[in-house]
Amino acid sequence: MEIHHRPSDIKGVSLLALDGGLDHSNKDGFAEAMERLLQEGTSRVVLDLERLTYVSSWGLAALVHVHHHFAVRGGRIAFANLHSAVATLLHVSRVERLFDLYDSVEEALRAVSAPEAPEKG
């Protein structure tokens, strides 16, 4: 799997495109790249998954871990342009409800750059 940094017109939001497959052989590299973003002060990320064609159970665990890691550190991560195979996996494994999923990169960028809604209560 390759991770491509793409330009984002929104200050403070990183846009990354994942290309290939996410599995046991590259899950650690993916997690480390995402951790570097947090350490560099980037807490809002959009992952363009249009070219991510395969996710194994290891890769799925990495996505869940990274999403959780961002959330507990006050960050936001959104997934956009899901490849049909990946969308099916998220649906069948019932983890799609954990993630912020968007049909387009533009939608995801708007969502992660918006201020957090106040909590109800």
The predicted-structure confidence for 50-67, as pLDDT tens digits, reads as follows: 999 999 999 999 999 999
Q: Give me the CATH code for the 6-113 domain, please.
A: 3.30.750.24
Question: Cα–Cα distance between 85 and 53 in angstroms, integer?
Answer: 6
The dihedral through the CA atoms of 97, 13, 82, 59 has a sign that is: negative
Quote the pLDDT of residue 36.
94
Quote the pLDDT of residue 119.
40
How far is CA 97 from its chain centroid? Answer: 13
- Tell me the two tokens of residue 90: 């998220």
pTM of the shown model: 0.90
Write the CB contacts of 35 (distance below 8 Å, at least 6 apart in sequence).
69
What ranges do the domains of the chain cover? 6-113
The predicted-structure confidence for 19-59, as pLDDT tens digits, reads as follows: 999 999 999 999 999 999 999 999 999 999 999 999 999 99
